[in-house]
Amino acid sequence: MTDDGASDSSPSHSTRTILVAGTASHVGKSTVAAGLSRLLADRGFSVAPFKAQNMSNNARAVPIAPAVAGSSAERGGDAGDADTVNDAAFGEIGVSQYVQARAARVTPTTDHNPVLLKPRGEGESQLVVNGRPAGNHAASDYYEEGWHRARDAAEAAHARLVRQHDVVVAEGAGSIAEINLHHRDLANVETTRFADADVLLVADIERGGVFASLVGTLELVPDDVRDRIAGAVITKFRGDESLLSDGLDAFEERTGVPVLGVLPYDDPGLPEEDSVSLPAIDERAAVGASANESEAAITIAVPRLPRVSNATDLEPLAAEPGVRVEYVPLDADLSSADAVVLPGSKNTADDLRACREGGLHDRLHEFSGPIVGLCGGYQLLGERLRNVGAESVRGGDELPGFGLLPVETRFSTEKRVAPVRWRFDGTGPFDGFAGTVSGYEIHTGETRVIGDETPTDSDAPRRPFAADGRAGATLGIARGNVLGTYLHGLFENDGVRDAFCDHLFAAAGKSRPTGDELAVSPYDRAAALVSRLDLEPLGFEAVGDD
């Protein structure tokens, strides 16, 4: 690195980069990358996660890398782009790299995911470079106008990481064999090249045709990338592994690529990277510990917003024994639900239009149970959205909201990104909780109370959240059984989650089941899963030795 923090673009010879690439999306790359990060960290290596380019609306607020924070040349935002408002230097990265940094026992920074694309709808995405907004682009515009800048940022971020760590565990995106993208495949092909990475090729056997996927991928990758593939991993296997032996032998003989391991089907419980695992917008599907139980469980309905973001907010609830988190279409009947949680949205205005078309507005007014809105969901619950052209792909000035909270949100180009700690005095479905809560904010738009702000009736809005120097409604408000807040990660706070679940079970007249706490963290479970891999072809001969 030069004195001003810029990269000289040459990887360190003492640092290895492992690229966990896939034959397709959702084959287990994130889990393998997280498991390797924890496994190698526990063996004494200094490990950093990395994903050159991610596409996800599940993001986390993290510190901007020190070399970037003060450098106008490497910051994401241009003049006229959205301003990022924070008390310190914070930016956005995809949730998978946040998780992998925790697995690696390092503080997550924007260098771990220097380029993030956040889909907004209508074929357009917000480009986030080094944690900061850098404009909205259609796919063709991005590749013509923004891709080279993004590649430079990714290469510089990787160069900084290799100077600080022994191992970089990089994650690819989708399939490494997309031949129409090879000349602009930043997360796979370009990362292999500028990082001089050893590639671990991951394939999902549950999908069927695993050997065809592996062989086809090897046939289609560029020759120089093919030469860097150190081995293959088969994931999500159920049954007797000995039945695969003939296929494994034939694959290795045909390709010369060793299979470094076959991993059994297991879900360590890591947050999902994106909405691939969610049901389609017109489908109804439950997730969580009690997904297949109905009589003994309470059900939390989550309207499936077309542009849902940070759906990981629901995962702590879905992991609770006896709790069914059920994603439902916007026209679904809510009468069987015990509560409704409206998740975040990358495009609140256009999701509001979709909700009204589906009739969700009327069903929420008829619903008598608790309703919680998180970030974009909070904005939907208000009286109106103003200046929506600053946020909506479809433009516009003003839209009526659901009218369940006496607030309005005005959009601008200003964006708030920051981890936060607030005081929360529980109310409504959170009654009984009082204390400090932590999480993060990632949103545009500012929300304020409208109408008489000091009413005396029992239905008056309450401001249960408090933070120094912040007005209550900018954090969240409640009225009756309805609460809205900008706090992502609300249900990751154990006391908040317990108060909410206790309220729901009591209201339903059901006993809340207790489950044994997991003795092993999700990161350690992921490490145990990948510990059966033969890492010798990757240069870690002693990793498997105790």
Q: What angle do the packed helices 95-103 and 522-530 form, to 10 degrees?
A: 80
- Candidates 112, 488, 501, 503; catalytic one: 488
Fold agreement (17-70+81-270+525-535, 294-508): yes
pLDDT value of residue 282:
85
Bridge-based pairing of strands 344-345 and 308-309 is antiparallel
Residues 6+ apart with CB under 8 A from 227: none
pLDDT tens digits for range 131-181:
998 888 888 888 888 899 999 999 999 999 999 999 999 999 999 999 999
* Most confidently predicted of 23-37, 75-89, 141-155: 23-37
Q: Domain map of the chain by residue range?
A: 17-70+81-270+525-535, 294-508
- Please compute the mean of the pLDDT values over residues 26-41 and round it to a whole number: 96
Q: Reply yes or no on whether the pLDDT at 6 is more than 50.
A: no
At CA 364, angle to CA 362 and CA 370, rounded to 5? 165
In angstroms, the Cα distances linking 82 to 196, 379, 424 are 35, 19, 30
In angstroms, the Cα distances linking 391 to 334, 352, 404 are 29, 12, 22
- Please compute the mean of the pLDDT values over residues 242-254 and round it to a whole number: 94
Known active-site residue 375: yes
Q: Which two tokens stand for residue 438?
A: 């932590």
Report the alpha-carbon distance of residue 413 to residue 57 in Å, rounded: 18
Q: Express as a percent the part of the chain with pLDDT over 70.
A: 88
pLDDT value of residue 30:
94
Known active-site residue 503: no
Report whether CATH 3.40.50.2300 matches the domain 17-70+81-270+525-535: no
pLDDT value of residue 290:
65
* Better pLDDT: 229 or 390: 229
Pick from 109-113, 310-314, 497-501: least confident: 310-314
Q: In the CATH scheme, what is the code of domain 294-508?
A: 3.40.50.880
pLDDT tens digits for range 518-536:
457 899 999 999 999 999 9
pLDDT tens digits for range 439-478:
999 999 999 998 755 555 556 789 999 998 787 788 999 9
Query: What count of Cα atoms within 13 Å lies in the side-chain half-sphere of residue 25?
Result: 11
Q: How confident is the model at residue 413 (pLDDT cuts 50, 70, 90)?
A: confident
Question: Which residue(s) pair with 60 in the sheet?
Answer: 93
Q: Reply yes or no on whether the pLDDT at 13 is more than 50.
A: no
Q: How confident is the model at residue 277 (pLDDT cuts 50, 70, 90)?
A: low
Q: Write down the pTM of the prediction.
A: 0.83
pLDDT value of residue 70:
57
* Better pLDDT: 542 or 213: 213
- Candidates 112, 165, 361, 375; catalytic one: 375
pLDDT value of residue 452:
58
pLDDT value of residue 271:
79
